[in-house]
Amino acid sequence: MSISFDQKMWVAGEWLEAEETIEVFDPGTNECIAVVPSATAEDMNRALSSAEQGAKVAEKLSVHDRMDILHKVADDLEKNKEEFATIIATEGSKTINEARGEAARTAETIRISAEEARRLNGETISFDQSPGNKNRFGYYFRFPVGVVAAITPFNDPLNLVAHKIGPAIAAGNAVILKPAAYTPLSALRLTKSFIDAGLPKHVLNTVTGRGREIGNPLVESPSVRMVSFTGGLSTGEAIAKKAGLKKLAMELGSNSPVLVFDDANVEAAAEACVSGAFAAAGQNCLGVQRIYVQSKSHDEFKKIVIQKTSELKTGNKMEESTDVGPLITEKEAERVEDWIQEAVEHGAQIVAGGKRRGTFLEPTVLVNVPPHATIAQEEVFGPVVLLDTFQTYDEAIKKANNVNFGLQAGIFTSDVNLAVQATRDLHVGGVMVNDSTDFRVDAMPFGGVKGSGIGREGVRASIEEMSEPRVVCFNIDQP
């Protein structure tokens, strides 16, 4: 499949070009595969005006209409899975097999959005529970917030877009989508799916461009009633300061820990951790970054991890046998390489991988990393995992919690009581028992604490975030 070189953005019900363009590169070959419009603030203001109209249309769509549109989009995703997968793999870092998995998940995300639309219910309220209110009765129902600004990252360029558009439309909102400048093609193709499915004009605007040009007009606009952002912590903090009084949902990454206790299945834990650390070249907010293994199992676990890591094949994303693709840019690969070197300079050792070639970085395992090293404290967002040991439960929990992130954690143990206790003591949004941190189903509430963000995604949770309760009370005079 060839990608159309000249792309347009969807603004105010039209496919539009712009005077300036952004080149989209395949990070594996550094080949320019397409150009997209580089929108201006004026373009964004036009999208905002369009979305204001779209919000009035969207809220009047019946639940049946919303469901019908979403099901048609899911049908298109399933019918054209290979096309979507090729776009994902070409513009981004994922291998073709990983991209196929994302395309399939996206169809499921949209399908769940359609199903959850029918469950956007309220409930009755017993107003007569208070003295003097026996003639009052009522209920609450949920109504859409209006215009949702959706800002998405490069690492899951299709499914994370679906996680914002799907619930927003299911709840009756209009959406302005600003996809990552590195990977806009997946978002534009999904936009076409929505248009072809009969989504009314103005309900969705997809604006391609650079954040420095169009970000502020979007998040600062009083027309926008909610900002849903997935990206880095510093950008999230900047958006929060600029957004003003509106709803915010932010997933800002992590530095995810896994605890492996002596009573665990060591080989299964090691296999899960290697997969969780190096999928999508480590560019995954749920990726395993720190592994703490109880002392008796540490040497065996380390041996298996090194072996399984060395067996991974890094290279051409489009080859079926490739396990690990490139990082999104050479600058990102250089940053991760610098963090590895900084750790080594402070006493860490590389026991697997560590070599970089352009945008490709070998899957890397580090040991003896000091806790103050950048790579131990920040989100690496690359194919690197840190291996450490612990003696006691309390030590393990303390090490796991010792970062300013808390998205998900993993724990491997056969002791149910210990696992239950850890779910209470780990400062994260999700605990995966006998799984790596890299586990998620698209229906579950998803989000974190501390620097990992605010609010929850996952289809049903997002629909609730993207709607508001309205109370209705009747005072009926009785004879």
Q: Among all residues, which ones are annotated catalytic?
A: 251, 285
Length of the chain: 479
